[in-house]
Chain A
């Protein structure tokens, strides 16, 4: 046990990043699950990552706006493509998404072939570095997510196919850089799975799972001295199972 790490100024920025991701990914995740395109986020997140790495190889600074534009453009291209394949060949959509994921991952490895920090970059993309987040980094993400939520809850009729795919690409491009592919997937899918049978309040249960999962995960990571991102994936799963069980029992 390590109590000194239990410090709000250490865990605060990471928790706030988690709250931002939770705010947008809970409603998006329920939609992804309802549409049955679970691996869409893994593929799009990986493509956004590929875009980030490509922008890096062009020698742009990690925080530069060009990098963000490239990352979002590649993610948007991939969702446009997937939107098209969903209409063209709906029965093989999952297979196409899976193939895109593998191509994007392998593409990142090829782009990083001559980079001595390749391993770090690839791992950073997957498990993220939520603890290295600082408040300044969160400001643009908070503004972006505010706009996404406004669009989502303000114009529910536009949640149909194409606008959904584009909002999704935008949200994931930002969240992947904050918390990594694994946490993005876990935040989208685990809470949505737990409350899939809920008619009402599914959204609030989902938010509850997200907030408690991130909070508990960060506290455990601090106490047990473990990498934070991976611990949060597990606490999200644990809370999702508990709440899912509770919600289903209450219904019977």
Chain B
């Protein structure tokens, strides 16, 4: 009896002391930012990603837990540049957590920290899903990961000052390893320079910009719109004049359009992970780029 009582008491004590070792709760819109928070925050942070690598980050299903997680979050990190415009504003409104609203320390928009490509001079509906803030898929240039990582590390220290030394040490360690990897990747990827590739959606521009690759065309006639037969025929004629090496699509995209184009043109299809978790071996940010480059190089040779 006494033993049970003692165990119970210990449990209660444990529960009471929980807040003392509470971790910083990070809500990421996409897996790449949850992975970055895990690299920089270590055991002082619990991360959660609203979408998985198998889901299109443009869309999301409303689940009660998403609202609860935003409500309890200390920091929200998202790509931004209107990538999540279809669901994040609703989620923020419904959660009503002032700490993570835009403009507050708990809100970090990754795309705003780097130089964005494809910023349109004017936007109207006829252009498809064009983002006024430029192309939002910024994480596929690893140099951006370093820039955003610095900002995220500072933000973590700001929100959890007790751990600032810990965050600084982890950040330095991460950036050092990232720099080494970056040099290795750049050497590895040299043969990819100038290679022409057809993509499904314009979510590879930052990767191609970094490696000097060329977008030979997209399967979507306009961003976000499904492929039409007429567009595929036009693309086929273009590719007959100036050929491409492969057709690339992300793990979360349906590959039917890519396969159809491949049948028409004889160009092979390549699936890339796009983000952390998009392939069995792409479990963190380092392996994401390792797998992406390995697949591109294998397909190019």
Contact = CB atoms under 8 A, between A and B. Distances in A.
Contact of A120 (B59, B67, B68, B225): B59
A222 B128 contact: no
Interface string B101-141: 00000000000000000000000011011000000000000
Contacts of B86: 117, 120
A63 interface: no
Contacts of B225: 114, 116
A116 B131 CA distance: 12
B62 A10 contact: no
A115 B59 CA distance: 14
Given A116-B129, A116-B222, A116-B224, A2 B90 contact: no
Interface string A1-26: 01011110111000000000000000
Contacts of A218: 64
B193 to A, nearest CB: 32
A43 to B, nearest CB: 26
B94 A10 contact: yes
Given A117-B86, A120-B86, A222 B129 contact: no
B63 to A, nearest CB: 5
Interface in B175-224: 222-224
B72 interface: yes
A28 B201 CA distance: 46
A228 B61 CA distance: 9
A132 interface: yes
B126 A7 contact: no
* Main DSSP-derived SS at the B contact region: loop
A131 B126 CA distance: 31
Interface residues of A, number: 26
B128 A4 contact: no
Contacts, number: 68
B67 A10 contact: yes
B94 A131 contact: yes
Interface residues on B, range: 20 to 34
B242 interface: no
Contacts of B72: 4
Nearest to A220: B64
B64 A221 contact: yes
A2 B65 contact: yes
Interface in B44-89: 59, 61-65, 67-69, 71-72, 86
Nearest to B224: A116
B46 to A, nearest CB: 12
Contacts of A228: 62-64
Contacts of B260: none
Contact of A227 (B62, B94, B222): B62
A162 B71 CA distance: 47
Contact of A10 (B64, B90, B222): B64
Interface centre among B67, B129, B222, B224 (most CB of A within 10 A): B67
B93 interface: yes
A130 B68 CA distance: 15
Contact of A129 (B62, B68, B128, B224): B62
A7 B64 CA distance: 9
B224 A225 contact: no
Interface string A208-252: 000000000010011001111000000000000000000000000
A3 to B, nearest CB: 9
A6 B71 CA distance: 12
A132 B94 contact: yes
Contacts of A130: 62
Contacts of B125: 114-115
Contacts of A115: 125
Contacts of A129: 62, 90
Contacts of A10: 64, 67-68, 71, 94
Interface centre among A10, A132, A226 (most CB of B within 10 A): A10
Contacts of A4: 65, 68-69, 72
A151 interface: no
A131 B63 contact: yes
Given A10-B94, A119-B59, A131-B94, 13 more contacts: A2-B68, A4-B65, A7-B68, A7-B71, A114-B126, A114-B225, A116-B225, A130-B62, A131-B62, A132-B90, A221-B64, A225-B63, A225-B65
29 contacts: A4-B72, A5-B63, A5-B64, A6-B64, A9-B96, A10-B64, A10-B67, A10-B68, A10-B71, A11-B64, A114-B125, A114-B225, A115-B125, A116-B222, A116-B223, A116-B224, A117-B129, A120-B59, A129-B62, A129-B90, A131-B64, A131-B67, A132-B62, A218-B64, A222-B68, A225-B65, A227-B62, A227-B63, A228-B64
Closest 7 CB pairs of A and B: A116-B224, A116-B129, A222-B64, A5-B68, A5-B64, A131-B62, A5-B65
Interface of B: 59, 61-65, 67-69, 71-72, 86, 90, 93-94, 96, 125-126, 128-129, 222-225
